[in-house]
Amino acid sequence: MPKEIIIDDNNFKQEVLESDIPVIIDFWAPWCGPCRLMTPIVEDIAEEYDGRVKVGKLNTDENPGVTSEYGIISIPTTIIFKDGKAVDQIIGAVPKDVIVKKLEAVL
């Protein structure tokens, strides 16, 4: 079963910006209730899109560099990256189909 990758300030460039497939990052924190609602959705997407999309989670409390670089002020925030650039962003907890629709648009 595919697993989301833990993304942090140290591996962000390698795992996200230099990825040869689209990457979707779930920006979250342990204390965030709505973030916990997103966990099963993110896990489902990781499984369904295994090999076509890289799925990562980034703890905003532990990774202030990437968090501030992308202006994350509200979590959960989901950003879709393609070819090293942020191409779409979703703020807040949303149903899976909202993410899938945006993801399909970049595939």
The catalytic residues are 32, 35
For residue 3, give both structure tokens.
């697993």
CA distance 7 to 45: 16
- What's the helix, strand, coil split of the chain in %, to 5? 35, 25, 35
Amino acid at 13: K
